[in-house]
Structure 1
Amino acid sequence: MDVFNWLIAAGPTVLLPVIITIIGLIFGLKITRSFKSGLTLGIGFAGIKLILDFMTTNVGPAAKAMVDRTGVHLTALDVGWGSIAAVTWASPIIAILIFGILLVNIILLILKKTHTLDVDIWNYHHMAIVGVMVYFVTKNIWLGIGSSILMALITFKLADWSQPIVESFFGIPGVSLPTVSALSSLVIAWPLNWLLDRIPFMRNNKFSIKDAQKYLGFFGDSMIMGLIIGMVIGWLAGYDLMKVMQLGVSMSAVLVLIPKMTSLFMEGLMPISDAAQKWSEKRFKGRKLFIGLDAAVVVGNQDVITTALIIIPLTIAMALILPGNSVLPFADLAVVPFRVALVVALTNGNLIKNIIIGLVVTASLLWCGTATAPVLTAIAKSVGIKLGANSLYISSFAATSMIQSFIVYFAFTWHPLISIPVLIIAFAGIWYFFDGIKHVNKNMEMQDAVTD
């Protein structure tokens, strides 16, 4: 536990290289190549984190200034996923929850009920926070453990089901993304995308970022779009001309730099991915094994970043007018790319669909964040987190603001004897449906191969 806690305290830039090096050795790579792959991923992650921090530093104050100009007072401040992670890791039951999630992954792999080997231990806090909050509310450790285990089951299956769109759209073979902050959006996006496809205009519309760039010409270039969006945010915030221009250049820099950092992820990942594929082919004949990584590997995609930069100002506007919302978006505006990444992949880059679905996802984040802000605030105080005096409550676009997490939290805290069985039955039905579709598709592919 001392070694484990030291690694966790070191953060993902240290933890990721260590884990990837170990995984590479398990899959048969030489230690030098494994270490280099792990270090490359760590460098890529550090670069992305620096850029996201840079984005938060610039967009956050502008967003707050926009809200201040409206005179609207929101009572729950978005303090960011980092603060929520700190609350999670400070919980007295965190060790039990982390090892429970790890055990679930191992058991599912042994039973061949998942293809995802989740090495993204740092982001286990997304699953663990549900258990922490359930335990805090119910004082029942078994309900706390059970909620995190169910979160893990749902997460690993969502990662399996979404892997084909990750591989197809982002071009990353042998990788799934069991990051709850990205996956949760699919809970809303899948049915909403199906509904939008029932509308002829939406079904036939193929408008993408590339189309927008074609029609916009010079103004469609990613760095120019970042410049314009940043300047508009600064203008709405009431900045003077110099600050407006500075914010515009900052947003332009984000669009240019994040893809370059993401390329480091790809460079470090490919040797591990290739080795894992060969390893799985030898030991799991006829079975695929996906390496579960942080969704940061895809947020640098140009469609994702551009969609996020459009959604960010709309998120702020929505927070002001959405009935029942008390959350002031602030620190987590920088992680909007994570919330829309798999939506973009699902729609194959359809910009109109991305914006519609992205706004519905954003509304759910605000409502769920409002509903659970009092509990999250109480937990933060209980573990000694010092809160600012500018807000009555704290919230985030992480924790139980995400629809998947909120549903599990609600089921385990609202009449558990009724709601837990209902949730388990619903999830089992969805599991049967999705695996049934994959089985049918596999049979059709085999028949096509025989015909050919």
Structure 2
Amino acid sequence: MQGVIDYILSLGGTVFVPLVLIVVGLLFRLSFLKSIKSAVTVGVGFLGLNLVVSLISQYLSPVVQSMVDRFGLHLTVIDLGSGTSAGIAFSTAVGALIIPIIFGLNVLLLFLRLTKTMNIDIFNYSHYALTGSLVALVSGSLLYGLIAAIFHAIFSLVVADLTAKRVQKIIGIDGISISQGYATSTVPLYALADKIFDKIPFLKNKNMDTQFIQKRFGMFGDPVIIGVILGVIISLLAGTGFKEGANVVIVVAGIMILFPRVIRIIVEGLMPISEAAKEFFNKRFQGKEFYIGLDSAVTLGHPTTITVGILIIPITLLLAAILPGNNVLPLADLAFAPFFICMATIMHKGDVIRTLISSTINMIFVLYIATYFAPTYTDLANEGGFNAASDGTEVSALYVGNVFDFVIAVLMRPGVLGIIGLVAITAIAFYFSTKKPGVKQDQGDSISG
């Protein structure tokens, strides 16, 4: 089983996702050649996305380290990042079983009409694996770990269904939802924050998105100029020289330009499959909806996400320094901040101010949850053979700062009673997701528009 999983993971998202999409296209009666074209186009889009993300890693990660050194942050728990965390999660017994179990569960829930989402984002099953692995380690029970992972997957599918319409409206792709295990966990906070913002006079009945800013401030609202300004701010905070700072400015401006264009390639590839899916279900299931569950990476092209995602880097470092009780030093994951705040853009319909405020609140939760899990995460890393803390230093990751992780782990501490509580929460969640039509489509920006 581990060998099969390792082989699937070794294919990478740029190969495995297109293979799945070819099968999906054929199931929806799309022609063979059109299925191949659509799937390969999506794969090319993900390839481009990976190249842009590599720019973040190559140029922004050293700048983050410079900020840490310059501000003299001496925190005791090191952030190992999402890549290492995924490796740790899949190296456990829970991780070895999670792909067939969650995939099978998803298919079952589709047949029972308890979800509309088919989560093909296999690589991000690592979020469920990590939740289950942490619970299994604390409880000493593989069964409890698998149950915890299943609850996380179910919560993600419920949120994916409820937010699908808004996701489709904001990013301009029909027939998809975001089912990624971290992105979905942020939605309850962002939805609650949006309701609160509606009561605040300064924020009420306003949509200060990037188009609004550009109309109000002219060229200062242009994505390229925003990228230049953000690059200069980050360079000044890091104390870089002219050469390194100029590179940072170009890279940040490049990210502002490249992310939306790469996402459009993914949109182009998904559209024929989306149209075929709608036609298929209209003919055979009286219009029953079906969503393709994707990675939150497809939301990153929105200018609000990129702008706030870059701004949140120095904000998170400041929070790490001043929050009482936080022990985590943000490092490896910090340059990938847009992934942590992307659903705020969706829930706030691209409003920059709302997204920035709620994203800052979210990063507070991330730091505290990552601190809470540090001892267990360190043990898990060492048991997986990563020798992450051989010198006695504790490790964690912003990746593990996941509200679903925290709620599931805490509720499962009492054992059976906790599981009963989670079953009750799941039943309520299914009631709302199956009885409600989903988040109403709102007016807002879309990447493709």
**TM-score by structure 1 length?**
0.92
1:325/1:29 Cα in 2 relative to 1: closer, same or farther (>3 Å)?
Answer: same
State the secondary structure of the residue aligned to 1:292.
strand
Structure 2 letter corresponding to 1:398: Y
Structure 1 letter corresponding to 2:35: S
- Worse-matched range after superposition: 174-183 or 377-386: 377-386
Aligned to 1:241: 242
Shift of 1:313: 1.9
Mapped to 2, the partners of 1:390 and 1:381 lie a distance apart of: 11
Aligned to 1:330: 331
State the secondary structure of the residue aligned to 2:292.
strand
Aligned to 1:71: 72
Tell me if the contact between 1:222 and 1:255 (Cα under 8 Å) persists in the aligned partners. Answer: yes
Shift of 1:427: 3.9
Aligned to 1:85: 86
1:389/1:62 Cα in 2 relative to 1: closer, same or farther (>3 Å)?
Answer: farther
Aligned to 2:168: 167
Mapped to 1, the partners of 2:307 and 2:376 lie a distance apart of: 34
Tell me if the contact between 1:187 and 1:404 (Cα under 8 Å) persists in the aligned partners. Answer: no
| Corresponding position: 1:230 with 2:231 | yes
Structure 1 letter corresponding to 2:213: A
Tell me if the contact between 2:162 and 2:438 (Cα under 8 Å) persists in the aligned partners. Answer: no
Aligned to 1:252: 253
- Worse-matched range after superposition: 9-18 or 209-218: 209-218
Aligned to 2:422: 423
| Corresponding position: 1:148 with 2:149 | yes
Mapped to 2, the partners of 1:336 and 1:185 lie a distance apart of: 13
- Worse-matched range after superposition: 105-114 or 46-55: 46-55
Aligned to 1:30: 31
State the secondary structure of the residue aligned to 2:18.
helix
The within-5 A match list for 1:57-136 is: 57-136=58-137
Mapped to 2, the partners of 1:197 and 1:122 lie a distance apart of: 36
Tell me if the contact between 1:76 and 1:391 (Cα under 8 Å) persists in the aligned partners. Answer: no
Structure 1 letter corresponding to 2:408: V
Aligned to 1:448: none
Tell me if the contact between 1:16 and 1:42 (Cα under 8 Å) persists in the aligned partners. Answer: yes
Shift of 1:72: 2.4
Structure 2 letter corresponding to 1:294: D
Mapped to 1, the partners of 2:179 and 2:196 lie a distance apart of: 25
Tell me if the contact between 1:7 and 1:14 (Cα under 8 Å) persists in the aligned partners. Answer: no
Q: Deviations over 1:382-401 (max 9, x none)?
A: 111243779922222223x1
Q: Which runs of 5+ in 2 are unaligned?
A: 442-449
Aligned to 2:355: 354
Mapped to 2, the partners of 1:47 and 1:439 lie a distance apart of: 31
Q: Which runs of 5+ in 1 are unaligned?
A: 443-452
- Worse-matched range after superposition: 229-238 or 32-41: 32-41
Tell me if the contact between 2:154 and 2:426 (Cα under 8 Å) persists in the aligned partners. Answer: no
1:434/1:12 Cα in 2 relative to 1: closer, same or farther (>3 Å)?
Answer: closer
Shift of 1:364: 0.7
Mapped to 1, the partners of 2:4 and 2:93 lie a distance apart of: 17
Mapped to 1, the partners of 2:440 and 2:40 lie a distance apart of: 38
Aligned to 2:322: 321
Mapped to 2, the partners of 1:394 and 1:37 lie a distance apart of: 41
Tell me if the contact between 1:56 and 1:332 (Cα under 8 Å) persists in the aligned partners. Answer: no
Tell me if the contact between 2:136 and 2:144 (Cα under 8 Å) persists in the aligned partners. Answer: yes
Mapped to 2, the partners of 1:235 and 1:52 lie a distance apart of: 22
Structure 1 letter corresponding to 2:124: N
Aligned to 1:51: 52
Mapped to 2, the partners of 1:304 and 1:440 lie a distance apart of: 20
Mapped to 2, the partners of 1:81 and 1:28 lie a distance apart of: 37
State the secondary structure of the residue aligned to 1:203.
coil
**TM-score by structure 2 length?**
0.92
Mapped to 1, the partners of 2:404 and 2:438 lie a distance apart of: 25
Aligned to 1:345: 346
In the TM superposition, structure 1's runs of 4+ consecutive aligned residues that sit over 6 Å from their partners are 388-391, 439-442
Shift of 1:206: 2.2
Counting matched residue pairs gives 440
Q: Deviations over 1:118-169 (max 9, x none)?
A: 1111111111211111112212111011111111111111100000111221
Shift of 1:21: 1.4
Shift of 1:418: 3.3
Report percent identity of matched pairs: 32
Aligned to 2:402: 402
Mapped to 2, the partners of 1:200 and 1:431 lie a distance apart of: 34
State the secondary structure of the residue aligned to 1:77.
strand
Tell me if the contact between 1:136 and 1:379 (Cα under 8 Å) persists in the aligned partners. Answer: yes
State the secondary structure of the residue aligned to 2:203.
helix
Shift of 1:232: 1.2
Structure 2 letter corresponding to 1:346: M
Structure 2 letter corresponding to 1:438: P
Shift of 1:4: 4.6
Aligned to 2:445: none
Tell me if the contact between 2:37 and 2:269 (Cα under 8 Å) persists in the aligned partners. Answer: yes
Mapped to 2, the partners of 1:340 and 1:348 lie a distance apart of: 13
Mapped to 2, the partners of 1:155 and 1:439 lie a distance apart of: 14
Shift of 1:83: 0.8
Shift of 1:191: 1.4
Aligned to 1:197: 198
Shift of 1:434: 5.0
Structure 2 letter corresponding to 1:421: I
Tell me if the contact between 2:22 and 2:39 (Cα under 8 Å) persists in the aligned partners. Answer: yes
Aligned to 2:431: 432
Tell me if the contact between 1:67 and 1:320 (Cα under 8 Å) persists in the aligned partners. Answer: no
| Corresponding position: 1:295 with 2:296 | yes
Aligned to 1:14: 15
Mapped to 1, the partners of 2:283 and 2:170 lie a distance apart of: 28
Structure 1 letter corresponding to 2:417: I
Tell me if the contact between 2:375 and 2:394 (Cα under 8 Å) persists in the aligned partners. Answer: yes
State the secondary structure of the residue aligned to 1:352.
helix
Tell me if the contact between 1:78 and 1:330 (Cα under 8 Å) persists in the aligned partners. Answer: yes
State the secondary structure of the residue aligned to 2:85.
helix
